Amino acid sequence: MNIELHKATNDDITFLLELRKQTMIEHLEKAGLFLSEEQHLARVRIHFDHAFIILQHKEKIGVLKYIETDSVIEILQLQITPKFQGKGIGNYVLSDVIEQAVATNKEIRLKVLKENPAKFLYERNGFSIYDEDLYEFYMKLVK
């Protein structure tokens, strides 16, 4: 599939902000959450040192942000530009993270907005809901 992950740098902030707006505003607003530009930028910057740009043929097409501890991998963001959605890229990247978690015997968790159809991607890959709040489902990989 020719997918590469590269550590995000400050030069990627503009891309990441635009990606977030393209992929999240619709789902956030369906949930009744209307964020300012500053709030979106703050979300991009949270755990920025754990963000990786997803490249296909050297083109920036998404982001994977996750935190890994001794026992858990928590996916914070997996976003693919709309132009590249539905082509198996999210599945490909997610499969790599799952392989890493299984190989190191770590639990893998994430949160997804209740209004976000990415929930179905996660379910197809073995994730189940274990909790929820007003806006999000909390999911983990069921081995």
pLDDT tens readout for residues 3-60: 999 999 999 999 999 999 999 999 999 888 899 999 999 999 999 999 999 999 999 9
Query: Please, what is the end-to-end C-alpha distance for the chain in angstroms?
Result: 26
Instruction: Tell me how far the alpha carbon of residue 95 is from its chain's centroid.
Output: 13
CB 81 within 8 A of CB 90: no
Q: Which of 64, 62, 143, 76 lies closest to 109, judged by CA?
A: 76
Domain CATH for 33: 3.40.630.30
Residue 123: domain span? 3-141
**pLDDT tens string 46-103:** 999 999 999 999 999 999 999 999 999 999 999 999 999 999 999 999 999 999 999 9
* pLDDT score of 115 more than 90: no
Number of domains in the chain: 1
Q: Find residue 59's DSSP bridge partners.
A: 56
- Report whether 112 contacts 27 (CB < 8 A): no
